[in-house]
Amino acid sequence: MNLIFKNAVIIDKDSQLNNQTVDIQVENGIIKKIGKNIATADGYETIELENLHISKGWFDSSVNLGEPGYEDRETLANGLNVAALSGFTDIALQPTGNPIAEKQADISFLMTKSMHAATKIHPIGALTKNSEGRDITEMFDMKNAGAVAFGDYNKSISDAAILKIALQYVQDFDGLVIAYSQDDKIKGKGIVHEGVVSTQLGLKGIPTLAEELQIVRNLYLLEYTGGKMHIPTVSTAKSVKLIKDAKAKGLNVTCSVAIHHLLLTDNTLTDFDTRYKVAPPLRPDTERKALIKGVLDGTIDCITSDHNPIDIENKKLEFDLAKDGTIGLESAFGALQTLLPLDVIVERLNAAKAIFGIENPEIAEGATASFTLFNPEGNWTFEKTDIKSKSKNSAFLGQQLKGKAYGIYNQGKLILNN
């Protein structure tokens, strides 16, 4: 597929082309020419889109789909198409299928099944067998099959010795450990943030201490063992400070924040709508503002949708029985645009590639063509009809968003919204 993208504004703070309007000529998946007024040639298709902006491809560091095992929630094929239409050239896939991705064969299945998609899967292998926190998995074999990191999705390792061993073991092959941080004893039977709203609603609360205490422990382990640790979806002000201090000490730690934690608070829970039941729980506005500050000052390295499709049978229940999770790919860019500067959004949606060791081609002549196409202008309301995912459990339904992703060019394929 040979293409010429016309009048595209490049958004890339590290490039001399940043904020310049250019044409981009792509031939057989390689950027052949970048310049002004590139003439249309035989065998080329011209792509002209309103207010077209292009950046290096976005990467989501935490995506759940469903297949294998939970295809009623989402399939690999449809989930990857949703990611492409949402502007993501790459996703890190959590090991939450059935069976859980914990062996070389599991990773190979995911890589093979998705090899022809435009959006590329980067599997996360389970850190412990069956994600039960007791025995570490065959991480080296999974790394050889294509796994980019190891963690148990939304499950904290209560046994400090297990996490210590994992951090030591992966250093032999430069592996990355994902340490979801929540003290389950402190959490207890809590289901929402512990505070004024939980008291008013009569719901059992989860104090910020549950997250912060576990982060302190995990950072101490990292300081002792060395290695690399990624702490996903931080949700409190003190968590951000703890990680900032750890970075200042020289620890190799990174972290992410979920989009819903940047935009929503526990005040949304007043109607007991289970779309807002997520893990970690939504916090008060003081915590939300601290997370935004952490993004802006660079303490929080990357932003994730933490996309987690849940079937209606497990979401349309009493609040305490419903599963945690919201989908977030389709609303990701438009939601962030209501809150953060465009250059920060693009940077934080790309930064996790370096953390996870993923190729990140430049937008330059001779480079592999891999980029996101989007329009940062235009306000709109996110409706159910905008959801392409099989599951519809979005916390952003009815929200006013700004700007839309057109799609991506990646793996030699162009995927655009109709």
Phi, psi of 264 (to 5 degrees): -115, 155
Q: How far apart are CA 299 and CA 256, in angstroms?
A: 9
| Contact in structure between 328 and 259 (CB atoms under 8 Å) | yes
- Residue whose entry in the numeric block shows the structure tokens 């590329």: 120
Question: Where do the DSSP E strands lie in 157-281?
Answer: 176-178, 192-193, 205-206, 228-231, 253-258
| Bridge-based pairing state of the strands 302-304 and 120-125 | unpaired
Which residues pair with residue 21 across a beta bridge? 9
381: left (phi over 0), alpha (psi -120 to 50) or beta: beta
3-state secondary structure of 11: coil
Say whether 90 sits in a helix, a strand or coil: strand
What angle do helix axes 285-296 and 237-248 make, rounded to 10 degrees? 30
| Strands 413-416 vs 400-410: parallel, antiparallel or unpaired | antiparallel
CA–CA separation, 310 and 393 (whole Å): 6
Catalytic positions are 306
Please check whether residue 103 is in contact with residue 123, taking contact to mean a CB–CB distance below 8 angstroms. no
Torsion of CA 365, 366, 370, 374, to 10 degrees: 10
Place of tokens 């930064």: 351
Angle formed by the axes of helices 160-169 and 208-225, to 10°? Answer: 40
What is the distance between the alpha carbons of residues 29 and 34, in angstroms, rounded to a whole number?
14
Among the listed residues 162, 371, 376, 394, the one whose alpha carbon sits nearest the alpha carbon of residue 276: 394
Structure tokens at 19: 């904020």
Cis omega before residue 232 (within 30°)?
no
Separation of alpha carbons 360 and 346, rounded Å:
13
The CA–CA distances, whole Å, from 231 to 35, 44, 252 equal 41, 44, 11
